[in-house]
Structure formats: structure tokens, C-alpha cells
Amino acid sequence: MQIQDLRSETLIRRPDFLGIGAQKSGTTWLWSMLRQHPGIFLPDEKEIHYFNAEVSKFAPAYRIQNPRAQRPLTWYLSLFDNAEPSQLCGEFSTSYLWDSEAPARICEMNQDIKLFASLRDPVQSVFSSYLYAIQLGQIGANTTFEDALERYPQALEQTYYFRHLKRYYDQFPAANILVLFHHDVVADPAAELSRLQGFLEVPRHMPPDLFEKSNTTARPRYPLLARAIRRTRMFAREHRLERVIDASRAIGTAKLFAYLRSQTVSYDERPGIQPATEARLRQLFLQDVESLEELLQVTLPSWKPRPGSSTPEGKSSSYGT
């Protein structure tokens, strides 16, 4: 989208589309695929986090006011300066899905923008987020999934998809919103990528690494270092020292920290969810899943409680209510 700047002869590029979520639902793969399309421009940084008022990850200590949301719109739009006139512009930030202020802020910037999301089974999504939080050093490596949910029950908030999507359907025309499902992308990546490209109205383009996985969760090789790096970054954000982070990018320190944090070890045996925990979570998400089915006119049987499964009696939890 191009808008004439009345103060000059230049054209201001505004994003034509946004990927709004969801976390751990294949968005890194989608970003990589679209980034290789010659008719699309995406900034180098995947998660811009401009329209969300808060920054949040798994643990509550990391839910803070987002300093980038306070930056002028001109800063955000400058991220698209290098786009060719013939290219579509866009970006991905999974925080836009769950942040209550993001839909209105996005609409104010471009009411005709196209939006898409990839959704994953909410139980699998929150479990993957738990493993990723360990990888990033947000929570201790020895913290069990059950203990993490007891300590941080709000970690489930991001996977109430109907609740969050409804805000977008209330703000934008349904024709401007596309919802993909992670299980469909895994089953047939070419078909789902083609579907997304058709939605964006760009020619079909299949990158050579179409079938390669992205952002696979693993164990941190250096858990204490990962936690130290993460706490340093969050301290800078909490105290509005975003310029320090920008400076670290400029001199290469951020790349070193990112490299050290990316050093992981594959699980010998990938952890799973205890059946009782899964049954409790599926029951917890059931109403939201059913509302999502009605909103999108789809059926999601694998997201619902398994036949014959039941939530154990006599065991209470803060996340199971």
C-alpha cells in the first residue's frame, strides 16, 4: 500500500498484510516461505512487535509494557523503505493475535490490510511453548509442564483462539482474514502455501526448501547462559533501554548472544504430556474450540477431549478452572 506524503514527493509504504499468529504454529516456516517470494518484501526481523501494547512470553515476569508500541509510526513504516514498488509489504508478529489493543491499532494504520493466522492444537501449542520457554531460559530446565502451568496459568491465555480472533472479525471484513491450521500445513505444505499466496494475490511460488522444518524446539546446551541472556534483554526492555538493544545489534553483540542462545541439543526422547494433564486442558479449551469451529465453519475433533477420557477427580489446579 502506497500513500502520498503531502510534505514531499515520496511515497510512504504501509504493510499490505500481517501474519498475526499464533506462537509455535509454523509461523517461522511461513515467514521463510513468503520471504523467498520475489513479489513480497518482509523486513529481516521476523517479530517486529509494534502494534501490541504488551510483550509476553510463557512466564508472567516477562509480561511488560512494549516499548516499541510507543515509537512513532514513521519508525515502523521505515522498515519497508527498501521494498520495490511492485512488491507487497508485510511482517509477522505472533503477539498481535492475543493483544487486545492490536486490532484497533492495525485498523487505524490500514483498514484494508489483509491478515492471516496459523493455529495449532491449543494443548500441543502451549506444551511446545513450555519447551521453548525452557530453551530460551525463561523457566528452569527442571521445571515440569504441570509445575509451569501451576506457576504461570496465564500462559494458556494465548491459545484461546476464538476469543482473540473475534476481535479481528469485529474490526475487519471476513474476506480480509485467512486462518490456516498447523496440521494442514504439516500434511500438505505446498497446498497451504499456495492457498496463502492466493489470498495475498501473488503468483504461486514454491521455494526449494519447502519441506524443511523451521524453529524446531530443543534443549538449551547452556541453560544458565540462556537464562542470563534472556534476563538481560528483559531488564533492558523493562527499564526502557531499547536503544541499548538496538546498539547491540549494530555492533554485532546481539548476533553473538543469539548464536549462544541458539546452541541446543536435540532431545533423546521428546517429552510428552501426561494423559491426565492433557484431558484437563482439553476440557478447559473445549468451549473456546467449539466457538472457533462456529466462527470459521470448520470441525476440529482432534482438539477436543478424547473419547473415553476424563479429568481426574479430586485434583485441583489453578489452570484447570
The answer, yes or no, to whether residue 242 has pLDDT greater than 70, is: no
The answer, yes or no, to whether residue 32 has pLDDT greater than 70, is: yes
Residue 23 lies in a domain: yes
Residue 156 lies in a domain: yes
The answer, yes or no, to whether residue 81 has pLDDT greater than 90, is: yes
CA–CA dist 95, 57 (Å, integer): 9
As for how many domains the chain has, the answer is 1
Residue 237 lies in a domain: no
For residue 314, what pLDDT is reported? 43
The answer, yes or no, to whether residue 186 has pLDDT greater than 60, is: yes
Q: Which of 128-142, 145-159, 232-246 has the highest mean pLDDT?
A: 145-159
Residue 229 lies in a domain: no
Residue 254 lies in a domain: no
How large is the average pLDDT for residues 123-128?
Answer: 95
Give the pLDDT band of residue 227 (cuts 50, 70, 90). low
For residue 232, what pLDDT is reported? 61
pTM higher than 0.85: no
The answer, yes or no, to whether residue 222 has pLDDT greater than 90, is: no
The answer, yes or no, to whether residue 318 has pLDDT greater than 50, is: yes
Residue 161 lies in a domain: yes
The answer, yes or no, to whether residue 311 has pLDDT greater than 70, is: no
Helix (H, G, I), strand (E, B) or coil at 294: helix
SS (H, E, C) 162-214: HHHHHHHHHHCCHHHEEEEEHHHHHHCHHHHHHHHHHHHCCCCCCCCCCCCCC
For residue 321, what pLDDT is reported? 43
For residue 173, what pLDDT is reported? 97
Residue 245 lies in a domain: no
With residue 3 as reference, give the H or E element that holds it.
strand 2-4
Closest CA to 95 of 40, 132, 46, 141: 46
For residue 236, what pLDDT is reported? 56
| Mean pLDDT of the residues in the chain | 83
Residue 44 half-sphere exposure, CB side, CA atoms within 13 Å? 4
Burial class (CB in 10 A: 0-12, 13-18, 19+), 183: middle
The CATH code of the domain that includes 274 is 3.40.50.300
For residue 305, what pLDDT is reported? 96
Burial class (CB in 10 A: 0-12, 13-18, 19+), 153: middle
Structure-model confidence comparison of residues 285 and 269, the more confident one? 285
Residue 308 lies in a domain: no
DSSP string, 123-138: HHHHHHHHHHHHHHTS
Where in the sequence is the domain holding 279, given as residue range(s)? Answer: 2-221+263-301
How large is the average pLDDT for residues 131-146?
Answer: 87
pLDDT (tens digit, 9 = 90+) per residue, 146-165? 999 999 888 899 999 999 99
